[in-house]
Amino acid sequence: MTTSSRTALSAALRAAIGITAALGIAVAATPAPAAASSVPAPTPLPRLSAAAYLVADLETGDVLAAKDVHGRHRPASTLKVLTALTLLPELDPAATYTAVHDDAAVDGSKVGIVPDATYSVHNLFEGLLLMSGNDAANALANAAGGVPEAVAAMNATAKELGALDTKAVNPSGLDEPGQVTSAHDLAVITRAALERPDFRTYVTTVRSAFPGKMPRRGKPRATFEIYNSNKLLHRYDGAIGVKNGWTSKARGTYVGAATRGDRTLVAVVLKTTKRPAWEETADLLDWGFRNASVTPVGKLAEPSAPEVVEPETTLAAGPVPAAGSRAAAAAGGMLTVPWPVWPALGVVALLAALRVRAVRVRRRRRSRYPLPVWRQSLR
C-alpha cells in the first residue's frame, strides 16, 4: 500500500469516527421517553436487631431486601428445615422406629421420646417440626441410617440447592463448632422444602397427639398433646410456617413464610438480640407485602445454578427503572441504537479491517524483503 493510499485511508477513518461521534452525541442528548406512570418509592425498612436478614418472593426468588445475606451464623433449630427436607424423601411415614438411649439423652428442647419405645416416622416428623424436638431429630437421623450418614446427606442437599454457606454438624441445629448457615441459604432451603406438600402439612399443623411411654401389657398406650411452637403461625395473617430457633450462642433465629393475595414471601432473621425473632420476621414480611413494586436487590440461588445475590447487599433502592432509560442502561440493560448510526458504524468497522490488513501485508513484506542496513538505521 502506497503512502498516498495510507493517507487517504486514515483520513476516511477519522471522518467516519467523527460522524459516529456526532451521531452518538445526538443520541445521548435525546431524552428517554417518560414512564407512563411513576412507581412509588419503597417505605423505610423496619428497625431490626438481627445481624443478618432477608425477605424474598417465594415464587420468583427475587430478594426484596437483605443484610449480610452470606454472613455465616449459627442456625439453631432453623436447621431442622434442612433435616426435614433431606429425610422426608428417604423415610416412609408409616414405618416404625424404636428409640435408643442417645435419642432421649440429646441436649436442648425435646418432644419426649422414651428409650425402647416405638414411634412412627410420622410421629417423629411432628415432634421435629411442631415441638422442635432435638430428640426427634436424632431419632430421624438414626432411622435414616445413622447421625453421620444423615448429616452427610444434609450437606449434600444444601450443596445441590446452591446453599453453599451452610454446613451441618448435627441434625438438630444445636451449637457445634463449624455448624453454620446464612440468611440466603435458609431462604433457599425453605423455598425447596415448601414445594413438598408433606412438609407444608407438618409446618402448618397447630397441634397433634404424640405417643407416651410404652404401656403395660394389655393396657392402651397414652398420648399427650403437642403444639406448634412457631408463634408466627398463630399470630400472623396468612402465615404458612415455618421454623423458629434459639440457643444461647445463636440467639434468636427464624424463618417464616406467608401468603397474601397472589404473593408468598419468605423472611429470615439470624442472631436477633433485642426483640423476639418472630416479631422481626413479621416486620420484614409486612414490609415486603407493602412494597410489592420494589426493585429486587438480587435473586435466590436455583438448584445446581450459581447464586447471584451480592454478599453485602442491603435494602432495595427504589422502583425499577423504565425500559430504555439511562437508569436501565446503567443497571445493565441494553441500549437501543437508532438506525442512522448503523451505517457509520459499518464504515468504521470496514476501514478498521482494511487498516489491520494493510499492517499485516507490510509486516509480511518486511519479513520477506528486509530493509538494507542503511535504511534500518534511519528508522
Q: Which residues are catalytic?
A: 77, 80, 132
What is the rounded CA–CA span in Å between residue 146 and residue 176? 18
Q: How far is CA 208 from CA 2, 78, 213, 224, 330, in A?
A: 94, 21, 16, 8, 54
What is the rounded CA–CA span in Å between residue 309 and residue 287? 20
Please choose, from the candidates 232, 230, 250, the residue with its C-alpha nearest in 3D space to the C-alpha of residue 50.
250
Which residue pairs, CB below 8 angstroms and at least 24 apart, start in 3-9?
6/358, 9/351, 9/354, 9/355, 9/358
Please choose, from the candidates 87, 150, 167, 154, the residue with its C-alpha nearest in 3D space to the C-alpha of residue 124.
87
Q: How far is CA 340 from CA 21, 346, 347, in A?
A: 12, 11, 12
Phi, psi of 321 (to 5 degrees): -60, 150
In this structure, what DSSP letter does residue 211 have?
E
Sign of CA dihedral 131, 206, 77, 153: positive
Angle in degrees, CA 328, 333, 336, rounded to 5: 95
**79 touches 107 (CB < 8 A):** no
Which residues on neighbouring strands pair with residue 255, listed in sequence order?
243, 268
Q: Which helix (H) or strand (E) holds 84?
A: helix 80-87
Single-letter residue type at 188: V
Task: End-to-end CA distance of the chain: give it in Å, rounded.
Answer: 18
